[in-house]
Amino acid sequence: MEKSLSDYIALSKNIDDLQSDKKIKVAILSSFTLNGLDETLHVKCSELGIRYQSYVGGYNQYNQELLNSESSYYNFSPDITFLVIDIRNLLGDNFYLPYEISDNERKSLVKEKINELENLIQKFNDNSNSKLVLANFNIPSYSPNGIIETKTKFGFHEMIEEINGSLRDLVKNYNSVYVFDFNQFVSKYGEKNIFDYRQFFLGDIQIAFNYIPSFANELLSYIKPISGINRKCIVLDLDNTLWGGIIGEDGINEIELGHTSNGKAYVEFQKQLLSLWKQGIILAINSKNNFEDAIKVLREHPDMILKEKHFASIQINWNDKAENLKQIANEINIGLNSIVFFDDDKVNQERIKQEFPEILTVNLPKDPSQYSSILTDLNDFNVLQRTNEDKKRGEMYAQQRERTNLEKSISNLDEFLKQLDIEVQIKKSDEFLIPRISQLTLKTNQFNLTTKRYQEEQIQNFSNNSEYEVGCAQVLDKFGDNGITGAYIVNKNGKTWIIDTFLLSCRIMGRGVEDAILSHILKNAKNDGAESVKAKFIPTEKNKPAEEFLPTYGFKKSDDYWIFDLNEPIKSPDHLKIIVE
């Protein structure tokens, strides 16, 4: 249950987040009073393990902050800025008296306001390498024209719709600028709840105090992916979660799925899950059941939306659910902190909460009609840019199950790798690949030499710098395309190249892909006249799998660095093909 604003303000006074590994600098600029938002975001970030630093602009000072390149705001250098301007401020007296001017004058006014917003965006883009989230404008239920508002040529509501539409189109030209749909936020919670005239008259408060925590939660949708803590896997129970009833007792013909009101609720929930799967969220099953009874529903029930192919891991047995979750994480090769767990049983919920607090265990009620709204209210699956790898992730994990089955059938690892027909395509970074490279640096933990985290703007800067080489690797095999799963950043420092970043998705570890990428870097360095390549391994709690990579390949330790002498032979795995594009 959401805490009150007063609770958040009280909690914010006693936060100790200096030890948090992740940190973020947030700026809040607004045209009206947003008391309590800063404190609420601080608490929410702390609860997520993020060290929060903030800059809150003065009341209605957003123009001065953004237009002046020497302002305190730019000196603060935030990672993300939330800019919230209210429609009354933007339109001035025309908010109340729009029909005092002609429809053509209203069109000119709207164009002028759009230009003002574009100027702010352009100034931000010129002076900052961070991200800007600009709220659009609420379309109030009020209209001076009453019931004939929709009959009016370029009426009051149409003016605001035009501004919102133009803003939406405008930000598509800026990779680092986003629109937060404030109009949708007001619709979701209700205009009469959000806008309280008493608070408005008291101090230009345009989001009621009671709803500041909800507003902060919406803004976390941007903070989570920037910090690399969004989640990518939903683990589901079956009985009374994906269908009503108990398959082992009721049988396939008597479970609730489709037709009845509850049955329709389960179908709707599955449709929402399928939509997330198509956007790259991994699905898995953790169910206490007889395997043959449960799998028959997935394979044969006519109203079952989710099929066997949609699940990256299927644990249907009588084992402890906590053990099954560990098995799922190991099979998919993801961290437990990437998982959201849905189970209707309160005992199971409590068991997982206590055993694995890093898993987001949803408090699922008994009423299945609430499941879809609970799922859609979660803001843990957002990404700032959806890559091809995101869209194909569900399909890729289905292919991974086929690889695992092949591996189990072949006792010799070398023979297994040869039969995979692996092809590694080395690609130089470009506008299309930069979002994915950034995403990999933010999310990859296990095979990551330095675990340095870079936003898209930083990867862009590296790519534009002739002293750096930024690249990635797309990996294919006979089962399909694994997508862009490796990345590197190298400082071409004269006779000694320095590897700044070298990482590989855990999905393809152990197939020689890391050796193929490294051999490409070493050959490039040698061809460029370098004499050695240096790299660091910076240990963390999670990157143990990368610890022996450099010495195993042939790097020698010298102080804080591992060094490869380019006079030595550069080995390249012979079970795969390397293509440099």
Give 504-521 pLDDT, tens digit per residue: 988 788 889 999 999 999
Lookup: tokens for 414: 């070398």
pLDDT exceeds cutoff 90 at 20: no
Please give the pLDDT value at position 448.
Answer: 95
pLDDT exceeds cutoff 80 at 420: yes
CA distance 168 to 499: 39
pLDDT exceeds cutoff 80 at 405: no
Please give the pLDDT value at position 478.
Answer: 86
Cβ neighbours of residue 33 closer than 8 Å, sequence gap 6 or more:
59, 203, 204, 205, 206
CA distance 581 to 575: 20
Placement of tokens 């010129």 in the chain: 126
Please give the pLDDT value at position 80.
Answer: 96
Please give the pLDDT value at position 388.
Answer: 79
Q: SS3 of 498, please?
A: strand
- Pairing mode, strands 177-180 and 131-135: parallel
Give 247-258 pLDDT, tens digit per residue: 988 899 999 999
Higher pLDDT among residues 414 and 279, named by residue: 279
Q: SS3 of 421, please?
A: coil
pLDDT exceeds cutoff 80 at 575: yes
Of the candidates 161, 263, 219, the residue with the CA atom closest to the CA atom of residue 29: 219
Of the candidates 73, 86, 80, 89, the residue with the CA atom closest to the CA atom of residue 41: 80
pLDDT exceeds cutoff 80 at 391: no
**Element containing residue 325 per DSSP (H, E):** helix 321-332
Q: Do the Cβ atoms of 297 and 247 come closer than 8 Å? A: yes
- pLDDT band for 246, please (50, 70, 90 cuts): very high
- pLDDT band for 386, please (50, 70, 90 cuts): confident
Placement of tokens 């917003």 in the chain: 117
Q: Do the Cβ atoms of 426 and 578 come closer than 8 Å? A: yes
Classify residue 4 by its DSSP letter.
P
CA distance 320 to 322: 5
Give 355-382 pLDDT, tens digit per residue: 999 999 999 999 999 999 999 999 999 9
What does R_g of the chain's alpha carbons equal in angstroms?
A: 27
Please give the pLDDT value at position 177.
Answer: 95
- CA distances to 111, 227, 500, 538, 562 from 22, in Å: 41, 7, 19, 16, 26
pLDDT exceeds cutoff 90 at 415: no
Give 44-94 pLDDT, tens digit per residue: 999 999 999 999 999 999 999 999 999 999 999 999 999 999 999 999 999
Q: Do the Cβ atoms of 180 and 135 come closer than 8 Å? A: yes
Please give the pLDDT value at position 441.
Answer: 93
Please give the pLDDT value at position 335.
Answer: 87
Please give the pLDDT value at position 409.
Answer: 76
- Mean of pLDDT values over 532-548: 92
Please give the pLDDT value at position 22.
Answer: 86
pLDDT exceeds cutoff 80 at 574: yes
Give 95-113 pLDDT, tens digit per residue: 999 999 999 999 999 999 9
Give 151-194 pLDDT, tens digit per residue: 989 999 999 999 999 999 999 999 899 999 999 999 999 999 99
Q: Indicate the residue type of 573.
A: P
Q: What is the mean pLDDT of the chain?
A: 92
Please give the pLDDT value at position 183.
Answer: 97
- pLDDT band for 334, please (50, 70, 90 cuts): confident
Give 272-311 pLDDT, tens digit per residue: 999 999 998 999 999 999 999 999 999 999 999 999 999 9
Query: 3-state SS string over 181-228?
Result: CHHHHHHHHCHHHHCCHHHHHHHCECCCHHHHHHHHHHHHHHHHHHHC
Q: Do the Cβ atoms of 206 and 37 come closer than 8 Å? A: no
Please give the pLDDT value at position 360.
Answer: 96
- pLDDT band for 470, please (50, 70, 90 cuts): very high
Please give the pLDDT value at position 229.
Answer: 87
Per cent of the chain over pLDDT 70 is: 100
- pLDDT band for 16, please (50, 70, 90 cuts): confident
Cβ neighbours of residue 578 closer than 8 Å, sequence gap 6 or more:
424, 426, 516, 519, 520, 572
CA distance 156 to 170: 21
